[in-house]
Amino acid sequence: MSTRAPAVEARQLIKTYPGGVTALNGMDLTVGAGTVFGLLGPNGAGKSTTVKILTTLARPDSGAAKVAGHDVLRHPDRVRRAIGVVAQKSGADPVATGRENLLLQGRLYGMRGAAVQRRADELLDRFDLADAGTRQVKGYSGGMQRRLDVALGLVHRPEVLFLDEPTTGLDPEARTAMWDEIARLAGDEGLTIVLTTHYLEEADRLAERIAIVDRGRIVVEGTPDELKGELRGDAVHMELRTDADRAAVTAALTGLPGVYEVLAEGRRVSVRAEDGAAAVPVLLGALDRAGATVAAATVARPSLDDVYMRYAGRRFSEAEAADAQQTPATVAAGGAR
């Protein structure tokens, strides 16, 4: 980690939207300079609201934040000069060419003459848009538009680049290309990248550090390996033939030797086990005695989904489905924290 001051420091951000939705509920965030930092969370977790506050597009109800050393509330103009923002929705003018978009953006930041022309050409080259640079943006593919969006965010050489859901809506090929692009950017001298994503794999691949956001706050933060490493043993996921009696299933599995976390929801039952493969027959037997028949079982090394489940008490995909009424049963048994 760099010895420079943090690129982002946010303390206890609270934001409630009209209508009473609490989007941020005590958001604390520190992003080291020169790192790629991932804000990972399901839809509605509060990632975009955090980015809006950090990029001076929204004000928190309370709390404080500094970006590139500048206070977002007291010196929003300084923050804006120090950051690049790639929003979910493209800011490019569809009837202008890629090059014209870059020139306009550069001029908005006070760049002039040959310098802005050079910068536009450099970015077109770099983002593999040199040939497309003289074509109208409306004819670009989704991946090309997204690359242009990132180039637009970089014109004025910002210290901190915010990428809000950079690959949402891209096909798998364009997504992989964008991942390579972001990984390359990360090597840029001193550039800090803050990216929000609801793709577990994206955060795992790109971010040096990840903060998992749930219901408007950070539930856990660390490197992907640290987070996964905190989970002992294997994850065993089982699918029952019919919906489980949650209490009965939990009681049947809790306390089995080498099994130390049980989560039952609907037909899905997950546990953590010291040795997943060895635990499967034991788990199947215990479930059978409790009257539950297992249709399928898988053993896996810990994933970020398991990390999310541990700290948020529900599966990522279920949180994405955004069922506000959901009240998952989480039972931590044995040595689990």
Question: Which spans of this chain sit near ligand ADP (rule: CB under 6 A)?
Answer: 17, 19, 21, 23, 41, 43-49
Min dist CB 165 to ligand ADP, Å, is 8
Residue where the block lists tokens 């249709």: 295
Q: How far apart are CA 269 and CA 246, in angstroms?
A: 9
For residue 25, give the nearest of 37, 41, 2, 38 by alpha carbon. Answer: 41
Q: Which is nearer to ligand ADP, 58 or 332 (CB)?
A: 58
State which amino acid sits at residue 142. G
Q: Which is nearer to ligand ADP, 117 or 168 (CB)?
A: 168
Min dist CB 48 to ligand ADP, Å, is 3
Q: How far apart are CA 114 and CA 93, in angstroms?
A: 22
In three-state form (DSSP H/G/I as H, E/B as E, the rest C), the secondary structure along 84-119 is: EEECCCCCCCCCCEHHHHHHHHHHHCCCCHHHHHHH
Q: Which is nearer to ligand ADP, 95 or 324 (CB)?
A: 324
CB atoms under 10 Å from CB of 7, counted, come to 28
Residue where the block lists tokens 């965010």: 153
Q: Which is nearer to ligand ADP, 213 or 252 (CB)?
A: 213
The answer to whether residues 21 and 324 touch, using CB atoms and an 8 Å cutoff, is: no
Cα 241 to its chain centre, rounded Å, is: 33
Q: Which is nearer to ligand ADP, 48 or 167 (CB)?
A: 48
Q: Measured on CA atoms in the order 30, 32, 34, 40, is the torsion positive or negative?
A: negative
Q: Which is nearer to ligand ADP, 36 or 211 (CB)?
A: 211
Min dist CB 46 to ligand ADP, Å, is 4
Q: Got the DSSP string for 302-326?
A: --HHHHHHHHHSS-HHHHHTT-TT-
Min dist CB 17 to ligand ADP, Å, is 3
Min dist CB 187 to ligand ADP, Å, is 27
With a CB cutoff of 8 Å and minimum separation 6, the contacts of 281 are none
Min dist CB 309 to ligand ADP, Å, is 18
Min dist CB 122 to ligand ADP, Å, is 32
Q: Which is nearer to ligand ADP, 134 or 326 (CB)?
A: 326
